[in-house]
Amino acid sequence: MSHKFPKNFLWGASISAHQTEGAYKSDGKGLTVQDTRPRDNHEIADFTVASDHYHHYKEDIQLLAELGVQSFRFSISWARIFPSGSGEVNPSGIEHYQNVIDECLRHNIQPMITLNHFDLPQALEDIGGWSNRETVNAFKNYAETVFKAYGSQVKYWLTINEPNVMLLVDKKILGKQIPLKEKYQQFHHLMIAEKYAFKLCHELVENGQIGPVPNISLVYPATSKPLDNQAALYFNSVRNWAYLDFSCFGRYNTVFKDYLNQKEVSITFAAEDKNLMENHFPDFIAMNFYTTMTVEKPTDKNNMSEGISDQQSEDIMDWGFYKGVTNPYLKKNQFNWTIDPEGLKTTLQTLYDRYHLPIIITENGLGAKDQLTEEGKIHDPYRIDYIKQHLEQCLNAIEAGVDLFGYSPWSAIDLISVHEGISKRYGFIYADRTEKDLKQLKRYKKDSFFWYQKLIQTNEIPL
Ligand code: BGP
């Protein structure tokens, strides 16, 4: 096996706005659902300061330039641009991201912008969030505004981060459980909003390329029992394919439709939806990948609560359809997430075979409790090992014919994990703070920083 990546392979690193920026009320920013969501653990850091990337962006981008990345995936906080989700534009918000983009370009780093990453403006949540069609209209207006503002400089765009995980793990991510019927109306609205983003990007951004950005975890059947295989079929559809089939084929997946019928969920379409669905498509698929999942057909309703308590673990149950189980062949990380590098190759092949679109990995990485030594070092061989194993499988997938054009792991810099605070770190760059003590938020380069730097320089996995 060759250890070299194709010539033009795009090396990047990723973050999101609310997990890094802080400055949650500065310069006219409105509140978002991430600022207001109820938290069940107040011992962990919230998003008010995060890694203070809002004030450190120059230093952070300088460090990314030293790391050698060619692209930087970040999200725009919608509520900085439109504090109330729609209405008046906030010029300071426009200016902030203009500065970030300029700084990237000055260092020859291509910005890759996610339009929305879990942080819906609270003002829109107050009118029903994604259940209300008005939120689609507000998103359309927001997308149009940022494409017009930055489209001459930014060519890579991503739509809405992980709508699948957001809906399936609603309680953890949004702080509230969405009733099932409402959940799938939200699905429809999110996917229609995405269609508008495809359309507007192609109309307004010259040479612009845009892709959906779901979290894909291939689902395995627990055994060769036919009913376990059915369970995997349903969970694959509900978790993965329903979203990408909508984005890439413009239709509701048949298995997903059956799932909705059995759940007695019906979706309200607006007059323009059919046309939007069937005529606007992505240029590539951006995929976030951490793990795979394994399910069986549930047989005992006792002691099981419905839903998913953690998106990346086996803790899921949907009575009548599927139930997560531990995969005995795979190891887990410190936070109980299953690690499956070979599953990445299979996932890439499955995705490419199904959609025939170029793929970029926009998240992949290891959350761990890193230690800063007295000498200012962070020894994180476990992260290097995780990324190395996954990149080997990327090479295998490329060799097997998959058009994988880039890798942008999670995360560029330490950030506040969705529900584990700052203790669960992902970055190549350490941000010195604890859950409670902000310290100076000084940046340190981890061992993985130097490893990834070498990889980018040589375009091959260091031995
Ligand atoms: C993805 C999200 C990210 C990120 C990552 C790790 O689902 O897109 O925002 O946080 O998962 O998850 P966690 O923070 O729970 O460890």
Per-residue pLDDT reduced to its tens digit, 391-431? 999 999 999 999 999 999 999 999 999 888 999 999 999 99
Does 392 participate in catalysis according to the annotation? no
Task: Give me the number of domains the chain comprises.
Answer: 1
- Over residues 107-158, the pLDDT tens digits come to 999 999 999 999 999 999 999 999 999 999 999 999 999 999 999 999 999 9
Residue 352 predicted with pLDDT over 80 = yes
Say what the pLDDT of residue 138 is: 98
Residue 249 predicted with pLDDT over 60 = yes
- The ipTM (two decimal places) reads 0.98
Q: What is the CATH number for 65?
A: 3.20.20.80
Our answer on whether the CB atom of 393 is closer than 6 Å to any ligand 1 atom is no
Q: Confidence class of residue 95 from pLDDT cuts 50, 70 and 90? A: very high
| Mean pLDDT, rounded, of the chain | 95
Say what the pLDDT of residue 173 is: 80
229 falls within a domain: no
Q: Which of 103, 125, 194, 363 is catalytic?
A: 363
289 falls within a domain: no
**For strand 110-116 and strand 156-161, is the pairing parallel, antiparallel, or unpaired?**
parallel
The rounded Å distance from CA 291 to ligand 1 centre is 12
In DSSP terms, 12 is beta-bridged to 71
Say what the pLDDT of residue 317 is: 84
Q: How many Cβ atoms sit within 10 Å of the Cβ of residue 51? A: 29
Residues 435 and 425: their CA atoms lie apart, in Å, by 12
The rounded Å distance from CA 410 to ligand 1 centre is 8
Say what the pLDDT of residue 316 is: 83
Q: Confidence class of residue 2 from pLDDT cuts 50, 70 and 90? A: low
227 falls within a domain: no
105 falls within a domain: yes
Is the model more confident about 305 or about 387? 387
The rounded Å distance from CA 241 to ligand 1 centre is 20
Residues 55 and 34: their CA atoms lie apart, in Å, by 19
- The pTM score is 0.97
Residue 310 predicted with pLDDT over 90 = no
Residue 314 predicted with pLDDT over 80 = no
Query: Which ligand 1 atom minimizes the distance to the CA of 172?
Result: 15
Upper half-sphere CA count for residue 130 (Cβ side, 13 Å): 27
Say what the pLDDT of residue 428 is: 98
Q: Confidence class of residue 64 from pLDDT cuts 50, 70 and 90? A: very high
Mutating to test ligand 1, I would choose from 32, 418, 422, 426 the residue with most ligand atoms within 8 A of its C-beta, which is 418
47 falls within a domain: yes
Domain span at residue 382 reads: 10-217+351-458
Radius of gyration of the CA atoms of the chain, in A: 21
360 falls within a domain: yes
407 falls within a domain: yes
In DSSP terms, 232 is beta-bridged to none
- Over residues 17-40, the pLDDT tens digits come to 999 999 999 999 999 999 998 877
Residues 347 and 351: their CA atoms lie apart, in Å, by 6
Cβ-Cβ contacts under 8 Å for 60 (sequence gap 6 or more): 53, 412, 413, 429, 443
304 falls within a domain: no
